[in-house]
Structure 1
Amino acid sequence: MTALPTLEELEPLGALFTRTVPERYQDLNGHVNVRGHYDLHMDAAEESWERQVGLDQAFLDRTGQSSFSLTHHVQFHREILVGHEVSTHLRILARGPKTVHAVTIVANRTTGEIASTLEFVEAYVDLTTRRTAPFAPDVAERIDELLEQHAALPWSLPPSHRLGTTRPTE
């Protein structure tokens, strides 16, 4: 089993945001529920796509291009409690001509542990046809820059099933 990175090892990724976990995320078990984890991951993915990749509303309005999620797989590693401080991070794992494979990480700053990871595949789409399309060159370049930086990190995360940027051939 792959060991989870330390919070120190996450630092080169930069934090997309840091926040205190709100009470609305608590479930009957007294910890953050699945929806709370997922909301944190979705906020992180949106933030990274807008800020790091450049797929924001202005880009969509200008090009008619965006991305659609193809698959998500959340792994829960440690509890988060209401009032804990968490940070979120993005790591690009691979890129194909029309898809990107990445993971968002929710780190519990209060306990010093990785709380959960969301591994996902996202497809680039032309919204006029609602079909996948090759990445625009500037978007591909930004993703590739991140991928190069992230590939140089000395740690990995436990993989989830068989997610990736291509479908297996039959």
Structure 2
Amino acid sequence: MLDRVDFVPVFFAPFVSAPMVVDPGWVDYNDHLNMAYYNVLFDRAMDEAMLLVGLGPYYVRHKGASYVTAEVHVRYMRELKADDPVRVTVQLLDFDDKRVHVFQQLYHAAEGWVSATSEQMALHVDLMRKKTAHFPTDILSRLALMKQAHDRLTPPEGAGRRIAMPPRPA
């Protein structure tokens, strides 16, 4: 990972993570990727995307702040197996002075189908005070650049969904 922030990022729409592989140790007794490790893959992709915004290890060390997940909604659509190659897309849906709202899609990298989606709200946090804090101006500027690029994308199917039982027959 980059350990510097003195660059002008280019934001692809959507952001596409580096290739990853389903670790055989992540496969459960059902012979597919355990649900916890979907979140590992989404988290790694989010870290890559936020690094371009300036939120990475350098930021934590020098600013004493970071971002943390406040809420997440994962949909599992198709199972992954050991050694499957994957990539994750990250689409910035919105942000404000303390929050980032993203939608991610986990793809089988060789076959192109979507395995899962993750919608996430992350908070900017002052690590010393353990409280939410305003993003600094430079981070807000980069988030605005990312949002401008991602605004060209269509809203992802599934964004804003809630969990609920289907209506009962009358």
State the TM bucket, normalised to the shorter chain. Answer: 0.7 to 0.9
Partner of 1:58: helix, strand, or coil? Answer: helix
TM alignment of 1:9-158, pairs within 5 A: 12-50=13-51, 52-158=52-158
Partner of 2:135: helix, strand, or coil? Answer: coil
Aligned residue identity for 2:156: S
How far 1:155 moved relative to its partner? 5.0
User: Structure 1 or 2: larger helix share?
Assistant: 1
Q: 1: distance between equivalents of 2:146 and 2:92?
A: 7
Q: 2: distance between equivalents of 1:154 and 1:49?
A: 21
Q: Percent identity?
A: 24
Corresponding residue of 2:166? none
How far 1:136 moved relative to its partner? 0.7
Q: 1: distance between equivalents of 2:126 and 2:21?
A: 36
CA contact (8 A) 2:15 2:91 kept: no
Q: 1: distance between equivalents of 2:23 and 2:133?
A: 38
Q: 1: distance between equivalents of 2:59 and 2:111?
A: 38
Figure out how many residues of one structure are paired with residues of the other and give that number: 151
Q: 2: distance between equivalents of 1:150 and 1:157?
A: 15
Q: 2: distance between equivalents of 1:60 and 1:156?
A: 31
Aligned residue identity for 1:111: E
Q: 2: distance between equivalents of 1:14 and 1:118?
A: 14
Q: 2: distance between equivalents of 1:135 and 1:45?
A: 17
How far 1:160 moved relative to its partner? 4.2
Q: Which runs of 5+ in 2 are unaligned?
A: 1-11, 163-170
Q: 1: distance between equivalents of 2:158 and 2:24?
A: 29
Task: Tell me which stretches of 4 or more aligned residues in structure 1 moved more than 4 Å.
Answer: none
TM-score, scaled to structure 1: 0.80
How far 1:14 moved relative to its partner? 4.1
Tell me the C-alpha RMSD between the 2 structures: 1.8
CA contact (8 A) 2:85 2:108 kept: yes
Q: Which runs of 5+ in 1 are unaligned?
A: 1-10, 163-170
